[in-house]
Amino acid sequence: SPTRLTIAIDGPAAAGKGTLSRALAVAFGLAHLDTGLIYRATGRRTLDGTAALEAAQTLTAEDLQADDLRTPEVARAASVVAAIPEVRAALVDFQRAFARRQGGAVLDGRDIGTVICPEAEVKFFVTASDAVRAERRFKELVEGGHDVTLDGVLSDLRERDARDSARASAPMVAAEDAVTLDTSDMDIAAAVQAAIRLVTEKTGHAPVQ
Ligand code: CDP
Ligand code: CDP
C-alpha cells in the first residue's frame, strides 16, 4: 500500500490554496495546516504593539483563533513580519512537526514546497490572474461585512505578492518539482478534481472520500 502522504500547496494571495487544501485533506484523509494563519496571528499581535519576533516566539493556540485574522490590515501586517528571517525561523519547527504527522498532512502557504516540506510527495503552485484573485477576495470580504473596493483589494494583493516574492528569506516561488495549477477559469469543483487526479497519478493514493 502507498506510503505516508504529504501535500505542499503554495501560491499568491487568494488563489484558492486554502479551499483546495481543505478539499484534498478530506479527499485523502489528511490533516490540514493553513500556515498563512500563523503569519496572520503574528502580524495581528504587532498591530497591538508586540514586537514581531516576540510575537512569533510566544504565539499561542488562542492567537490562532482570534476572530479578525482575515482583515486586509492583518494580511498586510502578516506579510511585513513574514519578511523577517528571525520570525520565519521561530515558526519553522511547528510547521515541520505538523508535516511529519503519522497520518499525513496538507500544508498551504508560500514556502511549503521549497522550505517547510521539500520532501513532500506532491507539490502544487496554485495561481489565478490578478483580476480573478481580486474578485474572489473582494467577494469574500464584502460578505464578511468589510468596507472595501475592488481596486483597493487588487492593489493590496499586488503589494503583498510583490513583497512576498521579493524577500530574501523563503520568497514565494514555485518549487522546481511543483505542478502549477492556474485556476483562473476553474471553479472550485474543477480545481479539486484536477488536483485529486494528479495526487493519485503521482503517488498511487486513491481518494478515501
Ligand atoms: O487560501 P487562498 O487565499 O489562496 O484562497 P482561498 O481562501 O481558498 O480562496 C479565496 C476565495 O476564492 C474563496 O472565497 C473561495 O471560495 C474562492 N475560490 C473560487 O471562487 N474558485 C476557486 N477555484 C478557488 C477559490
Ligand atoms: O490567504 P492569502 O493567500 O491571502 O494569505 P495567507 O496565506 O493567509 O498569508 C498571509 C501572508 O503570510 C502572506 O502574504 C505571506 O506574507 C505570509 N506567509 C508566508 O510568508 N509564508 C507562508 N508559508 C504563509 C504565509
- Distance from the CA of 15 to the center of ligand 1, in angstroms? 6
Rounded CA gap, 66 and 37, in Å?
Answer: 10
Q: According to the model, what pLDDT value does residue 44 have?
A: 98
Nearest bound ligand to CA 136?
1
Q: How, if at all, do strands 6-10 and 105-109 pair? A: parallel
Ligand 2 pocket residue status of 110, Cβ below 6 Å: yes
Residues with CB under 6 A from ligand 1: 13-19, 136-137, 140, 183, 186-188, 191
9, 46, 110: residue to mutate for ligand 2 pocket, most atoms within 8 A of CB = 110
Ligand 2 pocket residue status of 44, Cβ below 6 Å: no
Q: According to the model, what pLDDT value does residue 41 have?
A: 98
Q: How many CB atoms lie within 10 A of CB 146?
A: 14
Q: Please state the atom number of ligand 2 nearest to the C-alpha of residue 79.
A: 16
Q: CB–CB of 108/165 below 8 Å?
A: no
Q: According to the model, what pLDDT value does residue 14 have?
A: 98
ipTM rounded to 2 decimals: 0.98
Q: According to the model, what pLDDT value does residue 152 have?
A: 98
The pLDDT profile of the chain, 209 residues, written as one tens digit per residue, is: 567 899 999 999 999 999 999 999 999 999 999 999 999 999 999 999 999 999 999 999 999 999 999 999 999 999 999 999 999 999 999 999 999 998 999 999 999 999 999 999 999 999 999 999 999 999 999 999 999 999 999 999 999 999 999 999 999 999 999 999 999 999 999 999 999 999 999 999 999 97
Beta-carbon contacts of 87 under 8 Å, excluding residues fewer than 6 positions away, are: 42, 52, 53, 55, 56, 81
Q: Phi, psi (5° rounding) for residue 56?
A: -65, -40
Percent helix, strand and coil across the chain, each rounded to 5?
55, 10, 35
Beta bridge partners of 76: none
> Is residue 16 part of an annotated ligand binding site?
yes
- Distance from the CA of 1 to the center of ligand 1, in angstroms? 33
Q: According to the model, what pLDDT value does residue 4 have?
A: 87
Q: According to the model, what pLDDT value does residue 2 have?
A: 63
